[in-house]
Amino acid sequence: MSGVWVFVENSQGQIPAVAQEAIGAARNVAAGLGQPLTGLVMGQDVSGVANGAFDLGVDAVLGADDATLAHFRVEAVGPLVAQLAGERNPAVLVVGGSTRGRDLAAWVAAELEAGLVPDGIEVKVEDSSVKVTRPVYAGKLLADVHITGGLQVITLRSRAFPKAEPTGKSGTPEWVNTAVAEDEINTKVVGFEGKEGTVSLTDASIIVSGGRGVGGPEGFAPVKELANTLGGALGASRAAVDAGWIPYDHQVGQTGKTVSPDLYIACGISGAIQHQAGMRTAKIIVAVNKDPDAPIFKLAHYGIVGDLFKVLPVLAAEFKKRLS
Amino acid sequence: MKVVVCIKQTPSTTAVFTVDAGGNVSWDDPGGKPNVLNPWDEYSVEEGIRLKENHGATDVIVLTSGSEESQDALKTSLAMGCTEAILVADEAFAGSDTLGTARVLAAAINQIGDVDIALFGKQAIDGDTGMTPMQVARKLGWTPLTYVSAIKEVGDGQITVERLLDDGKETVSASLPVVISVVKEINEPRYPSLMGIRKANRVEIPTWGAADLSVEGGVGSEASQVDWSHVYAIPARVGSVEIIEGDTVEEQARILADRLFEEKVI
Q: Using alpha carbons only, how large is chain A's radius of gyration in Å?
A: 21
In the predicted structure, residue B237 carries a pLDDT above the cut 80: no
Give the pLDDT of residue B102. Answer: 96
Q: Contact, B129 vs A118, CB < 8 A?
A: yes
Query: Which residues from A are below 8 Å from B126, CB to CB?
Result: 136-138
In the predicted structure, residue A197 carries a pLDDT above the cut 80: no
**B 153-192 near A (Cβ less than 8 A):** 160, 163-175, 184-185
Residue A77 has phi, psi (to 5 degrees) of -80, -40
Report how far residue A99's alpha carbon sits from residue A253's, in angstroms, rounded to the nearest whole number. Answer: 18
Give the pLDDT of residue B167. Answer: 86
Question: Per-residue pLDDT tens for A86-140?
Answer: 999 999 999 999 999 999 999 999 999 999 999 999 999 988 789 999 998 888 8
**Average pLDDT for residues A287-294, to the nearest whole number?**
97
Report how far residue A60's alpha carbon sits from residue A27's, in angstroms, rounded to the nearest whole number. Answer: 12
C-alpha to C-alpha distances, A175 to A47, A51, B10, B138, nearest whole angstrom: 10, 13, 45, 26
Put simply, the answer to whether A109 touches B40 (Cβ < 8 Å) is: no
Give the pLDDT of residue A120. Answer: 95
Pairing of strands B35-37, B9-11: antiparallel
Strands (E), A164-258: 174-175, 188-194, 206-210, 233-236
Backbone region of residue B127 per phi and psi (left: phi > 0; alpha: psi in -120 to 50; beta: other values): alpha
DSSP A161: S
**B 43-82 near A (Cβ less than 8 A):** none
C-alpha to C-alpha distances, B234 to A96, B27, B107, nearest whole angstrom: 23, 15, 37
Helix (H) or strand (E) holding A305: strand A302-305
Put simply, the answer to whether B226 touches A311 (Cβ < 8 Å) is: no
Tell me the nearest-neighbour CA distance from A21 into chain B, angstroms: 16
Q: Contact, A141 vs A243, CB < 8 A?
A: no
Query: Which residues from A are below 8 Å from B97, CB to CB?
Result: 115-116
Query: Which residues from A are below 8 Å from B34, CB to CB?
Result: none
Report how far residue B216's alpha carbon sits from residue B211's, in angstroms, rounded to the nearest whole number. Answer: 12
Name the residue in chain A with its Cα closest to that of B39: A255
Angle, in degrees to the nearest 10, between helices A308-323 and A220-230: 20
In the predicted structure, residue A277 carries a pLDDT above the cut 70: yes
Question: Per-residue pLDDT tens for A213-269?
Answer: 999 999 999 999 999 999 999 999 999 999 999 998 899 998 889 999 999 999 999
Put simply, the answer to whether A115 touches B97 (Cβ < 8 Å) is: yes
Strands (E), chain B: 2-6, 9-11, 16-19, 25-28, 35-37, 59-65, 84-88, 117-121, 143-155, 158-165, 168-175, 178-182, 207-208, 226-233, 242-243
In the predicted structure, residue B41 carries a pLDDT above the cut 90: yes
CB nearest A263 (choices: B138, B240, B260): B260
Put simply, the answer to whether A202 touches B166 (Cβ < 8 Å) is: yes
Give the pLDDT of residue B2. Answer: 98
Give the pLDDT of residue B229. Answer: 75
Give the pLDDT of residue B239. Answer: 82
Report how far residue B124's alpha carbon sits from residue B133's, in angstroms, rounded to the nearest whole number. Answer: 11
Report how far residue A277's alpha carbon sits from residue A271's, in angstroms, rounded to the nearest whole number. Answer: 10
CB nearest A143 (choices: B146, B169, B228): B228
Confidence of residue A198 (pLDDT cuts 50, 70, 90): low
Question: Per-residue pLDDT tens for A3-19?
Answer: 999 999 999 999 999 99
Report how far residue B215's alpha carbon sits from residue A300's, in angstroms, rounded to the nearest whole number. Answer: 49
Burial A162-193 (b: 16+ CB within 10 A, else e): ebbeeeeeeeebeebebbbeeeebbbeeeeee
Give the pLDDT of residue B234. Answer: 85
CB nearest A315 (choices: B27, B143, B256): B256
**Which of B105, B227, B232, B262 is the best mutation test for A, with the most CBs of A within 10 A?**
B227
Query: Which residues from B are below 8 Å from A254, CB to CB?
Result: 13, 125
Tell me the nearest-neighbour CA distance from A134 into chain B, angstroms: 10
Tell me the nearest-neighbour CA distance from A32 into chain B, angstroms: 20
In the predicted structure, residue A282 carries a pLDDT above the cut 80: yes
Put simply, the answer to whether B125 touches A188 (Cβ < 8 Å) is: no
Confidence of residue B127 (pLDDT cuts 50, 70, 90): confident
Q: Between chain A and chain B, how many beta carbons pairs sit less than 8 Å apart?
A: 244
CB nearest B19 (choices: A141, A193, A283): A141
Mean pLDDT of chain A: 95
Query: Which residues from A are below 8 Å from B123, CB to CB?
Result: none
**B 78-137 near A (Cβ less than 8 A):** 97-99, 102, 125-131, 134-135
The proportion of chain A whose per-residue pLDDT surpasses 90, expressed as a percent, equals: 88
**Average pLDDT for residues B40-69, to the nearest whole number?**
96
SS3 of residue B151 by DSSP: strand
Mean pLDDT of chain B: 94
Give the pLDDT of residue B205. Answer: 97
Query: Which residues from A are below 8 Å from B36, CB to CB?
Result: none
Query: Which residues from A are below 8 Å from B241, CB to CB?
Result: 287, 297-303
CA A266, A271, A277, A282 torsion: positive or negative?
positive
Contacting residues for B25 by C-beta, under 8 A, at least 6 apart: A137, A141, B17, B18, B19, B231
**Average pLDDT for residues B41-52, to the nearest whole number?**
98
Query: Which residues from A are below 8 Å from B171, CB to CB?
Result: 189-192
In the predicted structure, residue A27 carries a pLDDT above the cut 90: yes
Put simply, the answer to whether A138 touches B134 (Cβ < 8 Å) is: no
Backbone region of residue B241 per phi and psi (left: phi > 0; alpha: psi in -120 to 50; beta: other values): beta
Report how far residue A238's alpha carbon sits from residue A218's, in angstroms, rounded to the nearest whole number. Answer: 17
Put simply, the answer to whether A116 touches B97 (Cβ < 8 Å) is: yes
Burial A49-74 (b: 16+ CB within 10 A, else e): bbbbbbbbbbbbbbbbbbebbebbbb
Give the pLDDT of residue B31. Answer: 85
The proportion of chain B whose per-residue pLDDT surpasses 70, expressed as a percent, equals: 100
A80-94, A186-200, A287-301, B238-252, range with the lowest pLDDT = A186-200
A116-120, B101-105, B233-237, range with the lowest pLDDT = B233-237
In the predicted structure, residue A199 carries a pLDDT above the cut 80: no
Tell me the nearest-neighbour CA distance from B89 into chain A, angstroms: 22
DSSP result, A61-102: EEEEE-GGGSS--HHHHHHHHHHHHHHH--SEEEEE-SHHHH
**Average pLDDT for residues B156-167, to the nearest whole number?**
94
Name the residue in chain B with its Cα closest to that of A191: B171
A74-83, A278-287, B223-232, range with the lowest pLDDT = B223-232
User: What is the amino acid identity at position A278?
Assistant: G
Is B194 in the A-facing interface, judged by CB distances under 8 Å?
A: no
